[in-house]
Structure 1
Amino acid sequence: MATKVKRARKANFSDRECVKLLDIVDANIGKLTNNNNTLRANAGKKAVWKMAAQELSAMSLVQRDEEDCRKKWRVSSLIGPTVTL
């Protein structure tokens, strides 16, 4: 039997990262909630998530990618904000 190798887990989003993600999404909410599924609209959404990932990675030791940011936003928008301002 082969032994399973555990995958390294990324650290949780910090409060600063959550606030920054909220700011980025609020500034670009029109692009992100656009129901138009054209190539240009989808490229705009992808660019916003890429920019968010770059900004979050620059402010912490954890490297975030677009999928991490998108998933965090999706989960936090369903549950509600975890950070009190």
Structure 2
Amino acid sequence: MMESITQGFMAQSIKILFGWTLIAALFFAILMLSWDIPMVRRHVKHIPDWPKVGMGVLRGFHRQQRLKELRRQRRLSLV
């Protein structure tokens, strides 16, 4: 009889732990999903839209390419 009681307590505690873990995971998922809403993105996080980020990266890449070309031309003109 004592064994069935301890098994029952163990099963109940595992169910409670699983329930709280599930609630925490759902809350975290809702938080992550709501964090990407455009209104939250602009007013809370101050993160630009992805096309603006991509254009900034592309401008940086082109700038690096121009600098490489200028340095190469300078080296050739010095020799």
Whether the TM-score (by the shorter chain) exceeds 0.5 is no
TM-score, scaled relative to structure 2: 0.31
TM-score, scaled relative to structure 1: 0.29
Q: Which has the larger radius of gyration?
A: 2
Greater relative CO (CA pairs within 8 A, separation 6+)? 1
| Higher helix residue share | 2
